[in-house]
Amino acid sequence: MASRGPLDPRCGIARSLDLLGERWALLVVREALLGHTRFSQFRARLGLSPDVLTARLESLVAAGVLERSTYREDGARERVEYLLTDAGRDLAPVLAALAVWGDEHDPHPDGAARRFSVVGSGEPVRVAFVTGDGHVVEPADVEMVPRASD
């Protein structure tokens, strides 16, 4: 069987990185998941230059992760905010997994910056591999298996 190169168009990891792998992109998504929607909020929270932030917002809109929506405050001109799409909200477990990995393998001396919990109850949650019947499987017991060519 011939080996596939790193640019296998079927590889979801490679395609995801094409859409989300630009520097700062996932941090913009993190801020949107935290409820920030406006250019000024992203800029204040991330400290990006306007040009870089504009480029990241445009790429996330083009990828279908964010959508532009207009709003108007009383007496002000119409402005744009950036709202998560379903695809953007679906990145929450991806960001949670990255946060857990960073906290475990490159911990900060002051501890984790945030935790993930159930809305309303505050019960902690974790990202896990789960079988079709609901059995949680530890990462060490999971393998990545290439699919046969069609």
**pTM (predicted TM-score):** 0.86
Model confidence band, residue 44 (pLDDT cutoffs 50, 70, 90): very high
For the chain, domains (ranges, CATH) are: 13-87 (1.10.10.10), 91-143 (no CATH)
pLDDT at 26 over 70: yes
**Residue pLDDT, tens place only, 97-140:** 999 999 999 999 999 999 999 999 999 999 999 999 999 999 99
Is pLDDT at 2 greater than 70 in this prediction? no
* Rounded (10°) CA dihedral 103, 41, 94, 136: 70
Is residue 148 pLDDT above 80, yes or no? no
Residue with the bigger pLDDT between 109 and 148: it is: 109
Over residues 50-79, the mean pLDDT reads 96
